[in-house]
Amino acid sequence: MEENSLRNKTIKGVGWSAADALLGQGVTFVTGLVLARLLSPEEYGLVGICLIFTTILNGIVDSGFSNALIRKKDTTNEDYNTMFITNLGISIVLYVLLFFASSNISTFFERKELTPLIKVMGSVLIINALSITQITVLTKKLDFKTKTKTSLLSAIISGIVGIGMAYTGFGVWALVAQVLSKQTIYTIGLWFFNRWWPDFSFNKENFKYMWGFGSKLMLSGLLSNIWNQLYQVVVGKFYSPATLGQYSRSKEYANIFSANITSIVQRVSYPVLSEIQDDKNRMVAAYRKVIKVTMFVTCVCMISLGAVAEPLIYCLIGPKWHEAATYLPLICISMSLYPLHAINLNMLQIQGRSDIFLYLDLIKKVIGLFPLAIGIFVSIYGMLIGSIVTGLISFFLNSYYTGKRLGYTSRMQLRDVSSSYGVAFIVAVAVYFLKYLPLSYWAILPLQIGVGISVLLCISEYFRIPEFIEIKTIIKNLNKK
């Protein structure tokens, strides 16, 4: 009975999280297509530079407290209030620091227009801080439905704002307005639908607990954010904002599948697996299933996306984004491993080993200097190839420690995902060479999609691939709800 309840919670959570990604991100994706045709790669690059700093600082605002409370079994209202006050206080301090640092940042990138952009976009730190506790409360309740409704509403309204401003000649400010309006509406929606209100009580003991667990995750997340944004810094500083716009756009398309799939799985699996952390065998079985199903979907989507990159980019946003089409295949291969990293690290968090989590992050950052150096001294393409190599090394590091603690080794994980990569590369080869047909890209792209889906279904059904069967079962169960 308990097993069925957990399964039902997981299926509902996956369903609503998937709806959030498909609908909310779908609206954002369509908005991005329109904006990419109205705005230039350089304007995207300027906003990309601003996002480097807001992304890094947003990780500090959370401080790892949300993960600490999601993991905690008996959460009190005092916990939430302590978290809320801390997040809000940190966000205000960081915004003030960013505000006064904006002119120095502009000098570093040699673009004066960055100063007002950073001052305005920095306010997203405070807006985001107001939403973190609400999201944590909903996640603890496995209420992904409310988050999905709010996310969709914010995506639609912010899309209208961004497109409207771009059409009326606001240029780069259209992108700024889209970012700010999306987060503002999302935050207001969470407060309206969730109805959790702070009473501003602060408990030092609760703070110590959250800080003890969350600070290591925060530091690890901060290092990861800085590290991920260093790629943007290298491209923006050593190349140009226009090249950064191209790079950011290709990464954004790769994120549609890799980051969103991982986000769905993390949001659902973390609270669900935390519930069964005391039953090792049950937790490992669930953990293994999560990896196999997630990687099947990710591999097929990411490798196929790389195979259709050129026709896709040309059809969606036009030939001025050609450079992005050449970056996308390499980014897709690198990011296909991302869910595997994230799920392994998730297990360390569930077991309370945030110390190992941080230790691994430090090692991986040292290794990651290799592709960054290539980006500075050789080329962006060399940097992307280097990222694939360091991604593989990072996988072995992550899986070594979870394998030691749970008995699910690197070799077992590779064996579990090998069929997923096999299917993905067969599909990719089947569609890639179609781009050389003497047809326009508008004819080639739908042909590639049709052939890819057909090959995938034929292989999966003929060989009765377990991950494919599991996905079909999940979809059937969702339809019954």
DSSP 185-202: HHHHHHHHHH--------
Predicted pLDDT at 20: 61
Task: Please tell me whether the overall predicted TM-score, pTM, comes out greater than 0.95 for this model.
Answer: no
| Residues 223, 265: Cα–Cα separation, whole Å | 22
Can you point out the beta strands (E) in 52-183?
A: none
Q: Indicate the pLDDT class of residue 19, thresholds 50, 70 and 90.
A: low
Give 302: exposed, middle or buried? Use CB within 10 Å, 0-12, 13-18, 19+: buried
**Is 70 exceeded by the pLDDT of residue 92?**
yes
In degrees to the nearest 10, what's the CA dihedral of 303, 308, 313, 316? Answer: -110
pLDDT for position 17: 61
In this prediction, residues 81-101 reach a mean pLDDT of 91
Residues 177, 182: Cα–Cα separation, whole Å: 8
In this prediction, residue 1 carries a pLDDT of 47
Mean per-residue pLDDT over the chain, rounded:
85
Q: Residue 136: CB partners within 8 Å, gap ≥ 6? A: 65, 66, 69, 70, 80, 83
The per-residue pLDDT for 268 is 65
| Pure H helices in 141-203 | 144-167, 172-194
Q: Name, of 42-51, 75-84, 129-138, the range with top average pLDDT.
A: 42-51
Mean pLDDT, rounded, for 290-319: 92
Mean pLDDT value across residues 57-77: 77
**Closest C-alpha to 33, from 316, 446, 252:** 316
pLDDT classification of 133: cutoffs 50, 70, 90: confident
With CA atoms as reference, report the closest residue to 332 among 360, 364, 310. 310
Res. 209: pLDDT tops 90: no
The mean pLDDT of 427-455, rounded to a whole number, is: 95
Query: In the structure, what pLDDT confidence band is assigned to residue 294 with cuts at 50, 70 and 90?
Result: confident
Helices (H) and strands (E) in the chain, counts: 21, 0
- The pLDDT of 183-199, averaged and rounded, is 88
Q: Indicate whether 137 pLDDT > 90.
A: no
pLDDT surpassing 70 at residue 60: yes
Pick from 47-51, 59-63, 318-322, 337-341: least confident: 59-63
**pLDDT mean over 422-428:** 95
The reported pLDDT for the residue numbered 158 is: 94
For the ranges 120-124, 134-138, 266-270, 326-330, the lowest mean pLDDT is seen at 266-270
Query: Distance between CA atoms of 270 and 337, rounded to whole angstroms?
Result: 19
Q: Could you tell me the two tokens for 229?
A: 């944004």
Give the per-residue pLDDT at 481: 55
| pLDDT given for residue 126 in this prediction | 95
The most confident of 246-255, 300-309, 467-476, by mean pLDDT: 300-309
Whether the pLDDT of residue 16 is over 70: the answer is: no
Query: Tell me: the pLDDT tens digits for 352-377?
Result: 776 787 788 788 888 988 999 999 89
The average pLDDT across 224-251 equals: 86
pLDDT band, very low/low/confident/very high, at 289 (cuts 50, 70, 90):
confident
